[in-house]
A and B are shown apart, each in its own frame.
Chain A
């Protein structure tokens, strides 16, 4: 595997479910990011991790919970989501947490029923 991979690629869940999105980067980068892309809206940065340390984004509801067990893996745990959370969730990585160009995974298209 090369680059940034994400699983699953598609996910349908009910509002009471708990699920997790997984991201893995094979680039040796030190920073990883979660973004949300809704229809007709710009990408919204949700969370940033640098060397496994989390940088908070206070505008993200607590029903989204990130986890970064090591510099290559990033998870987004989901619980009691709302239909308006349906979107494309993109993971990205960069060499350092320093404004470097970011490399994106293919995304997980999430639908909340």
Chain B
């Protein structure tokens, strides 16, 4: 089983739709979790950290389920500019050495 798994998509959704991505991880000792966004031929950029209590930033909501070992990202009222690949990142200890990226989920928001 891969350390971090994501549905590669693509997810094609109309503007204004709500879309959710899941990410599963295999190491139950994982400490910290992030969602990054990567536009085509660009570097990844931090979208949001994922906290145990869940967190929200505008149209984006991240949730962590430690028991089932998955994190989720919900995007509400999607915009054309949300089209990108969304990378789930799991850190398996307190050090950056085990910063593991998932393969990413590609989202296309259509007019």
Contacts and interface: CB of A to CB of B under 8 A. Distances in A.
A and B physically associate: yes
B45 A104 contact: yes
A84 interface: no
Q: What's the interface size class on A, roughly?
A: 20 to 34
A78 to B, nearest CB: 20
Given A42-B102, A42-B103, A43-B101, A99 B95 contact: yes
Contact of B43 (A31, A41, A106): A106
Contacts of B31: 99
B49 A105 contact: no
B32 interface: yes
Given A33-B96, A90-B43, A106-B42, A101 B34 contact: yes
B103 to A, nearest CB: 5
Contact of B93 (A45, A48, A99, A103): A99
B102 A104 contact: no
Nearest to B88: A42
Nearest to B34: A101
B68 interface: no
Nearest to B3: A42
A10 to B, nearest CB: 11
B99 A103 contact: no
Given A97-B95, A101-B34, 18 more contacts: A31-B96, A33-B96, A33-B99, A41-B103, A42-B4, A42-B87, A42-B101, A42-B104, A45-B97, A48-B97, A90-B43, A98-B95, A99-B31, A99-B32, A99-B93, A102-B96, A105-B43, A106-B42
